[in-house]
Amino acid sequence: MLFFLISKGIEMKNKKTVITYGTYDMLHVGHMNLLKRAKALGDYLIVGVTDENYDRSRGKLNVVESTKKRVKAIEALDFVDKVIVETHKNQKAEDMVKYDVDIFAIGDDWKGYFDYLNEYTHVEYLPRTEGISSTKLRKENFDTIKMGLVGLGKDTQAFADESQFVSNVKVNRIYAKDFLAVKSFTKDNELIKYGHDNYDEFLDTPIDAVYIDTQLSEHYIYIKKALLAGKHVLCENPIALEKDELKELLSLAKKEKKLLLSAVKTAFLPAFNQLFKELDTGVIGDVKEVRATRTSLYKEKHYSDSFIKQGATNILSSYTSLLVNKVLGKPKSITFFPQEEDGYDINNLIVTKHKNGALGIANVAVGMKSEGDAVISGTKGYIYIPAPWWLTKKFEVRFEDTHKTLVFNYEFEGCGLRYMIAEFTSLIQRGKNKSKMLTPSDIVGINRVLLEYNDSKKPKKKKEK
């Protein structure tokens, strides 16, 4: 037996191990040729398939297929010996040591970029197959999504700017009530060429979808009209300020077979999604509490009084509710501790109770400033997301033994909107009406808090004697 193990080890040592990495989206002949060239360099081929969150963190936004589907496609190739998933920047060097790699093979469009890995193994740049790529296939197989903007909100221009980094989408049209404001906005705008002050005429133009960024009270009517006009809708949260309105809009989207998605950009960031993958491993045990704070002094940012007076809960609770609900699920009860001035809440402490006694503690404010971090507490440890947690780039998994701390970094490009735009347009192109990153249940959950708060402020009807 000992002789067998020794001889087996010598046999494996004599084998030349080759490793390569890629996304392998929409597996095509170019991928196959490159992988076969890699295998020809040695005896044992390891293929690293990049995880979707890692792809998004490095700016690859238009991947059509899930990590699971891409892994299965590579596993089905009989000349591939092992498939692994690449999840972070330093993994290549780690894998080369771990698997005692002899050759790292990669396409020659990366020539010179990976020379630093010669410290660990030999780097070989392989010729690509001309005339084919996943990018080309996506352009050939998916139509360009034409989008129009509704409203001159705080993110209107940023949305147009960020859309340039997403393939197969074109944003060049806007609607707002104020004709002079629209004219001024489009006058020297390199992207937004066409302006409208009539919403029905705007919806009658050749657009496939709209992004709505207006006063919160206007969302319901703009969404409803857009859905009835056959347009997909991406709208700043809240979608509606009344329970019946939210239910109606979600039902209408389903009936019309159109995508209705809340524009809570946090939900689509690479690090935010990786956080839930770590939670799913049980690394911090049973989660008992989630704390999240989101505050902003909008007056110092010169926001209008009409915007600020929509209140802290309406403007900001979508973010804290997103984290609390995705971690703990639907709350059993919600308690509010608001401080109000001039008829609106300048801040609100929101406590939610969930199954197994878990608590959600959210603090939102437009009239005071606090540290904008978040903590997810479990029975084995906790996850800390530094401020501003809603622009998640980094999180740490911490334990009683501080030496065991795990640090995760997933940078994102721009202001983060491009990840949301990419998910929205990708769903439309693939004929999907639901996002796994922000499901209809998630949308209902994050809206429930503000809907119940608004309902609690309404005058109570007197009981008849």
Report the CATH number at residue 117.
Answer: 3.40.50.620
The CATH number covering residue 151 comes to 3.40.50.720
Mean pLDDT over 26-34 rounds to 89
Domain harbouring 349, CATH code: 3.30.360.10
Length of the chain, in residues: 465
341: containing domain? 270-411
The verdict on 89 and 152 lying in the same domain is: no
Give the mean pLDDT of 344-355.
Answer: 95
Residue 63 binned pLDDT confidence (cut-offs 50, 70, 90) = confident
Give the total number of structural domains in the chain: 3
Residue 352: closest CA among 326, 371, 388? 326
Same domain, residue pair 294 and 161:
no
Q: Is the pTM of this model over 0.85?
A: no
Per-residue pLDDT, averaged over 237-248, amounts to 91
Same-domain pairing of 253 and 280? no
Distance CA 27, CA 13 (A): 31
Q: Is the pLDDT of residue 319 over 60?
A: yes
Beta strands in 30-164 (DSSP E): 44-50, 82-86, 103-107, 122-126, 145-150
What is the reported pLDDT for 109?
Answer: 87
Residue 329 has a pLDDT of: 93
- Give the domain-ending residue among 235, 265, 295: 265
- Domain membership flag for residue 432: no
Please report the pLDDT score of residue 135 as a whole number: 65
Q: How confident is the model at residue 283 (pLDDT cuts 50, 70, 90)?
A: very high
User: Which letter does DSSP use for residue 214 in this model?
Assistant: S
Q: Tens digit of pLDDT for each residue in 85-107? A: 998 888 999 999 999 999 999 99
What number of other Cβ atoms are within 10 A of residue 244's Cβ? 10
What is the predicted pLDDT for the residue at 464? 56
Check whether 407 has a pLDDT greater than 80. Answer: yes
Domain identity same for 130 and 253: no
Residue 138 confidence (pLDDT) above 80:
no
Mean pLDDT of 257-264: 95
CB neighbourhood size of 227 (10 A): 22
Q: Which helix (H) or strand (E) holds 425?
A: helix 417-429
For residues 374 and 307, membership in a common domain is answered with yes
Q: Which two tokens stand for residue 411?
A: 């940078």
**pLDDT tens, position by position, 159-201:** 999 999 888 899 999 999 999 999 999 988 888 989 999 999 9
What is the model's pLDDT at position 229? 97
SS3 for 367-394 is CCCCCCCEEEEECCCEEEECCCHHHCCE
